Amino acid sequence: MNQSALLRPDWTPATIALMILGFMVFWPLGLAMLAYIIFGDRLRGFKRDVNEATDGFFASCRRSTGRHRPHFSTGNVAFDDWRKAEIDRIEEERRKLDEMREEFDAYMRELRRAKDQEEFDRFMRDRKNAKRDDNGPVAEYQTP
């Protein structure tokens, strides 16, 4: 029998003993164990409901506090137009920076690949020269 079977929310000898021990040590512990015995089977559903409600609340907070709120208006049309133009300009700059970062990452990947290829070719050359010194058979390597 595992521990979870001993401490399931039911009137088992283990839970009764823990409840009595809890009342003897510190009465709120005994009361908490009594509540677990009586209402423990409802905890799983309660926890799931609380988690879903909390996730929904924070998701709505994230949606309402995006980068900009196009539905928000100050009442001044000129300012709102200027703000929208600035936000669009900043988003365009961000897109350009993201493209440049992607290009640089591709460049670095190609540079690493070329360096790795050079090191591998040097290794094969050194290995080939070492084998020739031993007068053993040499397998030729051809670069693609």
What is the chain's mean pLDDT, rounded?
82
Does 5 score more than 80 pLDDT?
no
**Token match 């512990």: residue?**
29
Q: 82 with 76: CB under 8 angstroms?
A: no
Q: For the chain, how many helices (H) and strands (E)?
A: 4, 0
Give me the mean pLDDT over the 94-106 stretch: 94
Dig out the tokens for 132 from the structure. Answer: 């020739």
| Contact criterion met (CB below 8 Å) for 27 and 21 | no
Q: What is the pLDDT of residues 57-93, one digit of tens each?
A: 887 776 655 555 556 788 889 999 999 999 999 999 9
Is residue 51 within 8 A of residue 45, CB to CB? The reply is no
On whether the CB atoms of residues 25 and 11 are closer than 8 A, the answer is: no
Can you give the pTM of this predicted structure?
0.37
Alpha-carbon distance of 27 to 79, in angstroms, equals 64
Question: So where are the chain's domains?
Answer: 13-60+85-132
